[in-house]
A and B are shown apart, each in its own frame.
Chain A
Amino acid sequence: SQQGEEDPQALSIQEGENATMNCSYKTSINNLQWYRQNSGRGLVHLILIRSNEREKHSGRLRVTLDTSKKSSSLLITASRAADTASYFCATDAAGGGADGLTFGKGTHLIIQP
């Protein structure tokens, strides 16, 4: 399986509820990033967590990183209809170089109004 796999693949919740998405990866990383993508649009960076960090907050977003389990989670609190999008985790592999990010399969989040 590929680096940066996410689950669930799709998630549908009611507006106001919290949404949690998980990501697993395989190699050592410098950092892990979460991106959002509206259908057919570009990817928008949400948050970056470094390998020596365990938790990070940004507005309604909370990201955790467990390097021992090679996993991360993204929590969106008090979801809004506008949060409907696909969410991808992406890992920056350790070792340097401009080798790009490795993206997971993404979670398609639907917020029901």
Chain B
Amino acid sequence: AAGVIQSPRHLIKEKRETATLKCYPIPRHDTVYWYQQGPGQDPQFLISFYEKMQSDKGSIPDRFSAQQFSDYHSELNMSSLELGDSALYFCASSPGPGELFFGEGSRLTVL
């Protein structure tokens, strides 16, 4: 069965650079979520989209933005990267209330 696809799986950037992460949700899932998980930390909710419209925002820095496109894929854009942005970034999708289906994550390392 198709799962949530994230790319790239690994990304290395310098401070103050920009990074873009992509997420392809499971077909027919109407909601997409982005989470950030620092080393040894629990996942923190960043932002979500329902039917291509931003639905809710969590602890997403102003330097980050996200959008969902007409084909339902989503992108997380991160600018002016800081060392503290190094983390695993997960995308998840869901067909409605309840279980979230997570991708394998994109590991961002900021040097």
Contacts and interface: CB of A to CB of B under 8 A. Distances in A.
Chains A and B bind each other: yes
Interface residues of B, number: 28
Interface in B5-28: none
Contact of B42 (A33, A41, A105): A105
B42 A99 contact: no
A40 B88 contact: yes
Contact of A43 (B58, B98, B102): B102
Contacts, number: 69
Nearest to A2: B42
A44 B90 CA distance: 12
Given A33-B99, A98-B49, A103 B43 contact: yes
A103 B31 CA distance: 18
A104 B45 CA distance: 12
Given A35-B102, A88-B42, 11 more contacts: A42-B102, A42-B104, A43-B43, A43-B102, A45-B100, A45-B101, A48-B99, A98-B49, A100-B45, A101-B100, A105-B41
